[in-house]
C-alpha cells in the first residue's frame, strides 16, 4: 500500500508515525523544530488514516509492510523511526520484521504489551455523527464536545474532518474498519526475539501507558532500550509538552 506523507526539512531521514485516529500532520510542529537540527522528517499517514488508502485489512504486520514499501519507494536508507501509541507499535513490529534497516527507534507512550480496548466512548461519539444530516463543522464540534467533554480530544478528532464535496463532510479515517479492528490496535508485539536497535521509550508523566512493570519487560526484549519521562504531559506527550518532548529526544537523536 502506497502511503501518503509530507516531508519537512533536509538531512537524516526521520520517519514519524501517528497514533489511532491521528494523521501525520499532528506532528508538523515537532517536525519543523527537528528540521532545524538537520532531519528530513517524513510525516506519514498510516493505512485507514489521513490521506492514505483505506482497506478492510488492518494489522501491525500489514502496517509494518506498508512502511517497508514506503522506504523502498523513496529510497530511504538507515532511517530513524519514531512512532506514537499505535505508531509506536508499528515501529516495534517493523524492527522485528526488518531487523537492521532502521538505525534508531523512538517509541512514544506505548509498551509492547497487549492493551484492552478503551476507545469505546470515542467510537460511540464518532458513530453518532450522521453526515447525511450534518451540514456544518460547528454541528460536529458541538456533538463531539457534548459526548466527550475533553477539549483536547475533540480538537484532535476534528483535524480529521473535511469536505468531501461542497455540501458533505466526512472523516478522513476509515471509521468502519477501525471500529471492527479496535481489538487488534491493542495487540501485543511478538516477544520471542530481542531487538538490538538502539531504542528510546518516551512516556508522559501523567500517562499510565508505560508502567514500572512495562519497563522490566522492555529491558528484556530491547538490548539497548532506555525510558525517559516527559514532565507535565499525558498520552499526547508531543502536543502537551513539546519543549519537554524535544529535550527528551534530541540527545538520543544526536548521539
Q: Running along the chain, 255 residues long, what does each successive block of 10 average in pLDDT?
A: 97 98 97 98 98 97 98 98 98 97 98 94 96 95 93 94 94 97 94 95 96 95 96 95 98 96
Cα–Cα distance, 41 to 26 (Å, whole number): 13
E-strand ranges in 109-192 read: 161-165, 168-171
Cα–Cα distance, 155 to 169 (Å, whole number): 16
pTM over 0.95: yes
| Whole-number pLDDT of residue 149 | 84
**Superfamily for 5-115+188-254?**
Alpha/Beta hydrolase fold, catalytic domain (3.40.50.1820)
Exposed / middle / buried, residue 212 (Cβ in 10 Å: 0-12, 13-18, 19+): exposed
Cα–Cα distance, 80 to 96 (Å, whole number): 15
**Residues with a known catalytic role:** 85, 176, 235
Cα–Cα distance, 251 to 255 (Å, whole number): 6
| Whole-number pLDDT of residue 56 | 96
Cα–Cα distance, 181 to 139 (Å, whole number): 28
Identify the sign of the CA torsion 33, 34, 39, 44: negative
All structural domains of the chain with their residue ranges: 5-115+188-254, 120-180
Amino acid at each position: 500500500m502506497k502511503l501518503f506523507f509530507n516531508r519537512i526539512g533536509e538531512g537524516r531521514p526521520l520517519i514519524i508515525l501517528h497514533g489511532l485516529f491521528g494523521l501525520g500532520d499532528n506532528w508538523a510542529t515537532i517536525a519543523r523544530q527537528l528540521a532545524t537540527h538537520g532531519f528530513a522528517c517524513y510525516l506519514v499517514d498510516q493505512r485507514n488514516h489521513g490521506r492514505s488508502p483505506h482497506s478492510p485489512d488492518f494489522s501491525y504486520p500489514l502496517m509494518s509492510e506498508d512502511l517497508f514499501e514506503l522506504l523502498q519507494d523513496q529510497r530511504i536508507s538507515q532511517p530513524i523511526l519514531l512512532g506514537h501509541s499505535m505508531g509506536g507499535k508499528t515501529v516495534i513490529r517493523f524492527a522485528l520484521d526488518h531487523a537492521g534497516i532502521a538505525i534508531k527507534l523512538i517509541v512514544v507512550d506505548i509498551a509492547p504489551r497487549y492493551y484492552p480496548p478503551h476507545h469505546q466512548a470515542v467510537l460511540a461519539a464518532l458513530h453518532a455523527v450522521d453526515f447525511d444530516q450534518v451540514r456544518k463543522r460547528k454541528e460536529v464540534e458541538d456533538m463531539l464536545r457534548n459526548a466527550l467533554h475533553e477539549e483536547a480530544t475533540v480538537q484532535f478528532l476534528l483535524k480529521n474532518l473535511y469536505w468531501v464535496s461542497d455540501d458533505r463532510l466526512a472523516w478522513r479515517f476509515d471509521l468502519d474498519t477501525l471500529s471492527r479492528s479496535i481489538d487488534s490496535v491493542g495487540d501485543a508485539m511478538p516477544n520471542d526475539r530481542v531487538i538490538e536497535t538502539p531504542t528510546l521509550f518516551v512516556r508522559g508523566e501523567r500517562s499510565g501507558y508505560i508502567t514500572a512493570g512495562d519497563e522490566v519487560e522492555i529491558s528484556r526484549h530491547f538490548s539497548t532500550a532506555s525510558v525517559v519521562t516527559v514532565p507535565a504531559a499525558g498520552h499526547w506527550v508531543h502536543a502537551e509538552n513539546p519543549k519537554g518532548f524535544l529535550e527528551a529526544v534530541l540527545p538520543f537523536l544526536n548521539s
